[in-house]
Amino acid sequence: MKRGAALGWIVVSLLAIVVAAIPFLAVVFLGVAWGIIVFAVAAFGLAWLGGQLGMNGGADVAIGGGIALVVGGVVGLIVRLAMWVLS
């Protein structure tokens, strides 16, 4: 793998972690209702960004970001449920 491609994968992976953390933190610390609102705003932002990029990776941003949002939200719900059960 070329150095530029490896660096690109590292950057994309870090961005996916940041995007997944958005709904996770919202659900865990603000509650499910605020988590849904934050999720919707972040999904709209990713769709807008994907549209701005067009053919230069726009679909990758929208789809990959959407997957990261869903994973972060689901993990946040699981953690929130565990906190409720343990309290």
What's the pLDDT score for residue 1? 59
pLDDT at 61 (0 to 100): 76
- The reported pLDDT for the residue numbered 69 is 87
Both structure tokens of 9: 């994968």
pTM exceeding 0.75: no
Report whether 78 contacts 31 (CB < 8 A): no
- Can you give the pLDDT at residue 4? 67
32-85: pLDDT as tens digits = 888 888 888 888 888 887 778 777 677 777 788 888 888 888 898 899 999 889
Q: What type of residue is 13?
A: S
Per-residue model confidence (pLDDT) at position 39: 85
Q: Say what the pLDDT of residue 64 is.
A: 81
Closest among 35, 65, 30 to 48, alpha carbons compared: 65
Range of the domain at 10: 3-86
φ, ψ of residue 54 to 5 degrees: the values are 60, -130
Task: State the CB neighbour count (10 A cutoff) for residue 19.
Answer: 22
Q: Which pair of structure tokens corresponds to residue 1?
A: 């793998």
Domain count, the chain: 1
The pair of three-digit structure tokens given for residue 67, joined into one six-digit string:
């997957």
* pLDDT higher than threshold 70 for residue 5: no
